[in-house]
Amino acid sequence: MDEIERRIRAARPVSGHRDLPLTDRAKRELAELMLAEPELCDDYRPVSARRSQSRSRSQRRRKRRLAGLGVAGGMATAIGIFAAAMVLAPQSVHAATPPLLAIRQDATPAEELLTRMSESRERAASAVPTEVVTIRLQAWTLHTEDDGIATSTVVAPESYELTRTAGGAYRTVVTAAQPVDRNGDPIDSDEAPEPGGVIWEENWGPGEYQFFFPDALPENAEDIREYLMAATGSTEPLSAVEAIQATNDLLFEQKLNPRQEAALLSYFAELADLHTSGSVNDRLGRDGIAFVAHDPNQPDYDSYLIVSPESGRILATEVVYHGTERTDIDSPSVVNYYAWE
Protein backbone atom coordinates (compact mmCIF):
# COMPACT_ATOMS: atom_id res chain seq x y z
CA MET A 1 0.00 0.00 0.00
CA ASP A 2 1.47 3.42 -0.93
CA GLU A 3 1.53 6.44 1.38
CA ILE A 4 -1.42 8.33 -0.06
CA GLU A 5 -3.66 5.26 0.12
CA ARG A 6 -2.64 4.62 3.71
CA ARG A 7 -3.41 8.20 4.71
CA ILE A 8 -6.77 8.33 2.95
CA ARG A 9 -7.83 4.98 4.37
CA ALA A 10 -6.88 6.29 7.81
CA ALA A 11 -9.11 9.34 7.27
CA ARG A 12 -11.94 7.06 6.05
CA PRO A 13 -14.86 9.54 5.84
CA VAL A 14 -18.26 7.94 6.33
CA SER A 15 -19.71 9.33 3.11
CA GLY A 16 -18.80 6.82 0.40
CA HIS A 17 -20.72 8.38 -2.46
CA ARG A 18 -18.91 10.77 -4.77
CA ASP A 19 -21.92 13.00 -5.40
CA LEU A 20 -22.96 13.54 -1.79
CA PRO A 21 -21.65 16.46 0.26
CA LEU A 22 -18.94 15.46 2.72
CA THR A 23 -19.68 15.19 6.42
CA ASP A 24 -18.04 17.74 8.73
CA ARG A 25 -15.72 14.99 9.98
CA ALA A 26 -14.72 14.03 6.45
CA LYS A 27 -14.06 17.65 5.49
CA ARG A 28 -11.87 18.18 8.54
CA GLU A 29 -9.84 15.01 8.07
CA LEU A 30 -9.40 15.44 4.33
CA ALA A 31 -8.44 19.09 4.73
CA GLU A 32 -5.84 18.14 7.34
CA LEU A 33 -4.49 15.48 5.00
CA MET A 34 -4.24 17.85 2.04
CA LEU A 35 -2.56 20.58 4.10
CA ALA A 36 -0.13 18.15 5.69
CA GLU A 37 1.03 16.45 2.49
CA PRO A 38 -0.22 18.42 -0.56
CA GLU A 39 2.29 16.80 -2.90
CA LEU A 40 0.84 13.37 -2.12
CA CYS A 41 -2.58 14.44 -3.41
CA ASP A 42 -1.51 15.75 -6.82
CA ASP A 43 -2.08 12.44 -8.61
CA TYR A 44 -5.31 11.55 -6.75
CA ARG A 45 -7.79 14.14 -7.90
CA PRO A 46 -11.36 13.13 -8.53
CA VAL A 47 -10.85 10.27 -11.01
CA SER A 48 -11.74 6.95 -9.37
CA ALA A 49 -11.53 3.78 -11.40
CA ARG A 50 -14.19 2.14 -9.28
CA ARG A 51 -16.61 4.69 -10.68
CA SER A 52 -15.21 4.67 -14.24
CA GLN A 53 -17.96 5.48 -16.74
CA SER A 54 -16.22 5.59 -20.10
CA ARG A 55 -13.25 4.17 -21.99
CA SER A 56 -11.46 7.54 -22.07
CA ARG A 57 -11.89 7.91 -18.34
CA SER A 58 -10.56 4.43 -17.74
CA GLN A 59 -7.46 5.25 -19.77
CA ARG A 60 -6.71 8.15 -17.44
CA ARG A 61 -6.46 5.85 -14.42
CA ARG A 62 -2.71 5.31 -14.82
CA LYS A 63 -2.83 2.23 -12.59
CA ARG A 64 -3.81 4.12 -9.48
CA ARG A 65 -3.75 2.01 -6.36
CA LEU A 66 -6.82 3.81 -5.06
CA ALA A 67 -8.85 2.14 -7.81
CA GLY A 68 -10.01 -0.46 -5.25
CA LEU A 69 -13.61 -1.04 -4.31
CA GLY A 70 -15.26 0.01 -1.06
CA VAL A 71 -14.88 3.33 0.68
CA ALA A 72 -11.39 4.06 -0.70
CA GLY A 73 -12.70 4.82 -4.20
CA GLY A 74 -15.20 7.32 -2.84
CA MET A 75 -12.58 8.97 -0.64
CA ALA A 76 -10.13 9.56 -3.50
CA THR A 77 -12.93 11.23 -5.44
CA ALA A 78 -14.06 13.18 -2.37
CA ILE A 79 -10.69 14.93 -2.10
CA GLY A 80 -10.99 16.37 -5.59
CA ILE A 81 -14.64 17.31 -5.20
CA PHE A 82 -13.90 19.01 -1.88
CA ALA A 83 -11.14 21.11 -3.46
CA ALA A 84 -12.91 21.77 -6.78
CA ALA A 85 -16.21 22.81 -5.20
CA MET A 86 -14.52 25.90 -3.78
CA VAL A 87 -13.54 27.32 -7.19
CA LEU A 88 -15.97 26.01 -9.79
CA ALA A 89 -18.66 28.27 -11.21
CA PRO A 90 -22.15 26.93 -12.05
CA GLN A 91 -22.45 25.24 -15.44
CA SER A 92 -25.40 24.62 -17.73
CA VAL A 93 -27.38 21.40 -17.53
CA HIS A 94 -25.84 18.85 -19.88
CA ALA A 95 -25.37 15.53 -18.06
CA ALA A 96 -27.53 12.48 -18.78
CA THR A 97 -28.85 10.44 -15.86
CA PRO A 98 -30.96 7.26 -15.62
CA PRO A 99 -34.74 7.53 -15.39
CA LEU A 100 -36.15 7.81 -11.90
CA LEU A 101 -37.70 4.65 -10.52
CA ALA A 102 -41.50 4.66 -10.47
CA ILE A 103 -42.35 4.23 -6.79
CA ARG A 104 -45.88 3.30 -5.77
CA GLN A 105 -46.41 4.86 -2.36
CA ASP A 106 -47.00 2.67 0.68
CA ALA A 107 -47.91 4.00 4.12
CA THR A 108 -46.86 0.87 6.02
CA PRO A 109 -44.23 1.80 8.65
CA ALA A 110 -40.67 0.82 7.74
CA GLU A 111 -40.20 -0.97 11.06
CA GLU A 112 -43.14 -3.29 10.34
CA LEU A 113 -42.06 -4.10 6.78
CA LEU A 114 -38.38 -4.59 7.59
CA THR A 115 -39.18 -6.80 10.59
CA ARG A 116 -41.39 -8.94 8.38
CA MET A 117 -38.68 -9.15 5.71
CA SER A 118 -36.06 -10.02 8.32
CA GLU A 119 -38.17 -12.90 9.58
CA SER A 120 -38.69 -14.12 6.01
CA ARG A 121 -34.97 -13.95 5.29
CA GLU A 122 -34.05 -15.80 8.46
CA ARG A 123 -36.22 -18.73 7.40
CA ALA A 124 -34.21 -19.17 4.20
CA ALA A 125 -31.65 -21.94 4.00
CA SER A 126 -28.18 -20.74 4.93
CA ALA A 127 -25.62 -20.89 2.16
CA VAL A 128 -22.61 -23.13 2.70
CA PRO A 129 -19.39 -21.04 2.94
CA THR A 130 -17.01 -21.61 0.04
CA GLU A 131 -13.33 -20.93 -0.53
CA VAL A 132 -14.18 -18.51 -3.34
CA VAL A 133 -16.98 -15.95 -3.10
CA THR A 134 -18.21 -14.17 -6.23
CA ILE A 135 -20.32 -11.00 -6.05
CA ARG A 136 -22.04 -9.61 -9.14
CA LEU A 137 -23.89 -6.34 -9.56
CA GLN A 138 -24.83 -3.66 -12.04
CA ALA A 139 -23.92 -0.07 -11.21
CA TRP A 140 -24.12 3.45 -12.55
CA THR A 141 -22.62 6.64 -11.17
CA LEU A 142 -22.76 10.14 -12.58
CA HIS A 143 -19.66 10.69 -14.71
CA THR A 144 -17.66 13.56 -13.23
CA GLU A 145 -14.60 14.91 -15.00
CA ASP A 146 -11.37 15.87 -13.24
CA ASP A 147 -12.62 19.45 -12.87
CA GLY A 148 -15.68 18.26 -10.94
CA ILE A 149 -18.26 18.93 -13.66
CA ALA A 150 -20.73 16.18 -14.55
CA THR A 151 -20.53 15.48 -18.30
CA SER A 152 -22.36 12.20 -18.90
CA THR A 153 -24.05 12.24 -22.30
CA VAL A 154 -25.26 8.63 -22.27
CA VAL A 155 -26.36 6.39 -19.44
CA ALA A 156 -23.95 3.46 -19.64
CA PRO A 157 -24.16 1.10 -16.65
CA GLU A 158 -21.29 -1.15 -15.62
CA SER A 159 -21.32 -4.81 -14.61
CA TYR A 160 -19.08 -5.75 -11.68
CA GLU A 161 -17.73 -9.19 -10.85
CA LEU A 162 -15.89 -9.28 -7.54
CA THR A 163 -14.04 -12.41 -6.46
CA ARG A 164 -12.72 -12.92 -2.93
CA THR A 165 -10.87 -15.99 -1.72
CA ALA A 166 -10.62 -17.31 1.83
CA GLY A 167 -6.93 -16.42 1.75
CA GLY A 168 -7.66 -12.74 1.14
CA ALA A 169 -7.01 -12.45 -2.59
CA TYR A 170 -9.39 -10.03 -4.31
CA ARG A 171 -10.18 -9.51 -7.99
CA THR A 172 -12.39 -6.95 -9.70
CA VAL A 173 -13.53 -7.11 -13.31
CA VAL A 174 -15.75 -4.32 -14.65
CA THR A 175 -17.45 -4.68 -18.02
CA ALA A 176 -19.75 -2.34 -19.94
CA ALA A 177 -23.48 -2.95 -19.98
CA GLN A 178 -25.86 -1.69 -22.67
CA PRO A 179 -26.19 2.12 -22.49
CA VAL A 180 -29.71 3.54 -22.31
CA ASP A 181 -31.23 6.99 -22.70
CA ARG A 182 -33.15 9.01 -20.12
CA ASN A 183 -36.25 6.88 -20.75
CA GLY A 184 -34.39 3.63 -20.19
CA ASP A 185 -34.39 2.64 -23.86
CA PRO A 186 -31.24 0.95 -25.24
CA ILE A 187 -29.14 3.13 -27.52
CA ASP A 188 -25.99 2.80 -29.60
CA SER A 189 -23.32 5.36 -28.81
CA ASP A 190 -19.75 5.92 -29.89
CA GLU A 191 -19.13 7.60 -26.51
CA ALA A 192 -19.89 4.48 -24.46
CA PRO A 193 -17.77 1.31 -24.25
CA GLU A 194 -18.86 -1.70 -26.29
CA PRO A 195 -21.34 -3.77 -24.20
CA GLY A 196 -19.49 -6.70 -22.65
CA GLY A 197 -16.09 -5.11 -23.12
CA VAL A 198 -13.77 -4.91 -20.14
CA ILE A 199 -13.50 -1.34 -18.84
CA TRP A 200 -10.94 -2.13 -16.16
CA GLU A 201 -9.82 -4.93 -13.92
CA GLU A 202 -7.62 -5.19 -10.86
CA ASN A 203 -6.05 -8.08 -8.96
CA TRP A 204 -4.75 -8.17 -5.41
CA GLY A 205 -2.90 -11.14 -3.94
CA PRO A 206 -3.49 -12.45 -0.38
CA GLY A 207 -2.92 -9.66 2.11
CA GLU A 208 -2.55 -6.90 -0.51
CA TYR A 209 -6.08 -5.49 -0.38
CA GLN A 210 -7.13 -3.81 2.87
CA PHE A 211 -10.75 -4.75 3.44
CA PHE A 212 -12.87 -2.26 5.36
CA PHE A 213 -14.96 -5.17 6.59
CA PRO A 214 -12.33 -7.86 7.29
CA ASP A 215 -14.58 -9.62 9.82
CA ALA A 216 -17.83 -11.27 8.82
CA LEU A 217 -21.01 -9.35 9.50
CA PRO A 218 -22.58 -10.60 12.77
CA GLU A 219 -25.65 -12.81 12.67
CA ASN A 220 -27.17 -11.09 15.70
CA ALA A 221 -29.01 -7.82 15.14
CA GLU A 222 -27.83 -6.34 18.45
CA ASP A 223 -24.21 -6.54 17.25
CA ILE A 224 -24.72 -4.76 13.93
CA ARG A 225 -24.63 -1.20 15.26
CA GLU A 226 -21.22 -1.56 16.91
CA TYR A 227 -19.89 -3.48 13.91
CA LEU A 228 -20.77 -0.69 11.45
CA MET A 229 -19.53 2.03 13.80
CA ALA A 230 -16.17 0.29 14.10
CA ALA A 231 -15.87 -0.29 10.36
CA THR A 232 -16.64 3.33 9.46
CA GLY A 233 -14.60 4.83 12.30
CA SER A 234 -17.65 6.55 13.78
CA THR A 235 -17.90 7.27 17.49
CA GLU A 236 -21.68 7.64 17.29
CA PRO A 237 -24.45 5.40 15.93
CA LEU A 238 -24.85 5.83 12.18
CA SER A 239 -27.76 7.71 10.68
CA ALA A 240 -29.91 5.83 8.17
CA VAL A 241 -28.11 7.57 5.29
CA GLU A 242 -24.72 6.56 6.68
CA ALA A 243 -25.97 3.01 7.34
CA ILE A 244 -27.11 2.67 3.72
CA GLN A 245 -23.74 3.95 2.51
CA ALA A 246 -21.90 1.54 4.81
CA THR A 247 -24.11 -1.35 3.64
CA ASN A 248 -23.36 -0.44 0.05
CA ASP A 249 -19.62 -0.75 0.72
CA LEU A 250 -20.11 -3.91 2.79
CA LEU A 251 -21.86 -5.65 -0.10
CA PHE A 252 -18.87 -4.94 -2.33
CA GLU A 253 -16.78 -7.08 0.02
CA GLN A 254 -19.09 -9.71 1.51
CA LYS A 255 -21.84 -11.98 0.25
CA LEU A 256 -24.20 -12.27 3.20
CA ASN A 257 -25.88 -15.46 4.28
CA PRO A 258 -29.60 -15.31 5.20
CA ARG A 259 -28.98 -14.97 8.96
CA GLN A 260 -26.59 -12.07 8.41
CA GLU A 261 -28.98 -10.34 6.07
CA ALA A 262 -31.87 -10.89 8.49
CA ALA A 263 -29.82 -9.30 11.27
CA LEU A 264 -28.99 -6.33 9.05
CA LEU A 265 -32.66 -5.80 8.18
CA SER A 266 -33.57 -5.93 11.88
CA TYR A 267 -30.96 -3.24 12.49
CA PHE A 268 -32.49 -1.07 9.76
CA ALA A 269 -35.95 -1.64 11.26
CA GLU A 270 -34.80 0.15 14.41
CA LEU A 271 -33.60 3.30 12.64
CA ALA A 272 -36.12 6.07 13.24
CA ASP A 273 -34.90 8.12 10.27
CA LEU A 274 -35.58 5.39 7.68
CA HIS A 275 -39.05 5.50 6.13
CA THR A 276 -41.11 3.48 3.68
CA SER A 277 -41.24 5.04 0.23
CA GLY A 278 -43.23 2.36 -1.60
CA SER A 279 -43.17 -0.64 -3.91
CA VAL A 280 -40.94 -0.51 -6.98
CA ASN A 281 -39.32 -2.50 -9.75
CA ASP A 282 -35.55 -2.12 -9.46
CA ARG A 283 -33.04 -1.62 -12.30
CA LEU A 284 -32.99 -5.38 -12.92
CA GLY A 285 -36.78 -5.59 -13.08
CA ARG A 286 -37.30 -7.21 -9.67
CA ASP A 287 -40.12 -6.44 -7.25
CA GLY A 288 -38.91 -4.48 -4.24
CA ILE A 289 -39.86 -2.16 -1.43
CA ALA A 290 -37.94 1.11 -1.37
CA PHE A 291 -37.02 2.70 1.95
CA VAL A 292 -35.79 6.29 1.96
CA ALA A 293 -33.48 8.16 4.31
CA HIS A 294 -33.02 11.91 4.63
CA ASP A 295 -29.99 13.51 6.25
CA PRO A 296 -30.55 17.09 7.55
CA ASN A 297 -26.88 17.79 6.80
CA GLN A 298 -27.36 16.67 3.18
CA PRO A 299 -30.86 17.98 2.42
CA ASP A 300 -30.54 17.86 -1.37
CA TYR A 301 -30.05 14.09 -1.54
CA ASP A 302 -32.21 11.06 -0.73
CA SER A 303 -30.72 7.63 -0.13
CA TYR A 304 -32.79 4.55 -0.96
CA LEU A 305 -32.50 0.96 0.23
CA ILE A 306 -34.47 -1.53 -1.90
CA VAL A 307 -35.41 -4.90 -0.41
CA SER A 308 -37.30 -7.85 -1.87
CA PRO A 309 -40.70 -8.23 -0.14
CA GLU A 310 -40.68 -11.97 -0.83
CA SER A 311 -37.18 -13.16 0.02
CA GLY A 312 -35.98 -10.32 2.23
CA ARG A 313 -32.83 -9.94 0.11
CA ILE A 314 -31.24 -6.51 -0.19
CA LEU A 315 -31.53 -5.80 -3.91
CA ALA A 316 -30.16 -2.31 -4.48
CA THR A 317 -29.26 1.13 -3.21
CA GLU A 318 -29.79 4.46 -4.97
CA VAL A 319 -29.07 8.13 -4.37
CA VAL A 320 -31.29 10.82 -5.87
CA TYR A 321 -30.57 14.55 -6.04
CA HIS A 322 -33.60 16.81 -5.64
CA GLY A 323 -32.05 20.15 -4.80
CA THR A 324 -31.90 23.49 -6.59
CA GLU A 325 -28.22 24.44 -6.42
CA ARG A 326 -26.65 22.14 -9.01
CA THR A 327 -26.68 23.26 -12.63
CA ASP A 328 -24.85 20.28 -14.16
CA ILE A 329 -27.86 17.95 -13.77
CA ASP A 330 -31.62 18.26 -13.66
CA SER A 331 -33.59 18.03 -10.44
CA PRO A 332 -34.57 15.42 -9.50
CA SER A 333 -31.86 13.14 -10.92
CA VAL A 334 -30.34 9.79 -10.02
CA VAL A 335 -26.64 10.24 -9.17
CA ASN A 336 -25.84 6.59 -8.56
CA TYR A 337 -27.31 3.14 -8.13
CA TYR A 338 -26.05 -0.35 -7.29
CA ALA A 339 -28.13 -3.44 -8.00
CA TRP A 340 -26.84 -6.81 -6.77
CA GLU A 341 -27.66 -9.91 -8.77
What is the reported pLDDT for 30?
Answer: 54
What number is the average pLDDT over the span 146-160? 75
Give CA–CA dist 121/258, Å, rounded: 6
What is the reported pLDDT for 23?
Answer: 45
Mean pLDDT highest for which of 1-5, 13-17, 188-192, 325-329? 325-329
Nearest to 338 by CA among 290, 299, 284, 296: 284
Query: Can you give the residue range of the structural domain that contains 201?
Result: 3-340
What number is the average pLDDT over the span 209-228? 95
* Alpha helices, H only, the chain: 3-11, 24-36, 55-59, 71-84, 110-122, 224-232, 240-253, 258-269
Distance of CA 123 to the CA centre of its chain: 28
What is the reported pLDDT for 15?
Answer: 34
Higher pLDDT, 326 or 135: 135
What is the reported pLDDT for 184?
Answer: 62
Measured in degrees and rounded to the nearest 5, phi and psi for residue 46 equal: -70, 15
What number is the average pLDDT over the span 66-91? 38
Q: Could you give the C-alpha distances from 57 to 51, 144, 232, in angstroms and in order?
A: 10, 10, 29
Peptide bond into 332 cis (omega under 30): yes
Higher pLDDT, 321 or 326: 321
List 333's β-bridge partners, or say none.
321
What number is the average pLDDT over the span 263-281? 98
Task: Using pLDDT thresholds of 50, 70 and 90, give the confidence band for residue 336.
Answer: very high
What is the reported pLDDT for 196?
Answer: 83
Lowest mean pLDDT among 81-85, 133-137, 186-190, 326-330: 81-85
Q: Could you give the C-alpha distances from 315 to 27, 48, 155, in angstroms and in order?
A: 31, 24, 20
> Considering the chain, what percentage of its residues have pLDDT values greater than 90?
55
Measured in degrees and rounded to the nearest 5, phi and psi for residue 242 equal: -65, -35
Cβ neighbourhood burial of 275 (10 Å; 0-12, 13-18, 19+) = middle
Number of domains present in the structure of the chain: 1
Angle between helices 110-122 and 258-269 (to 10 degrees): 170
Q: Is the pLDDT of residue 80 over 70?
A: no
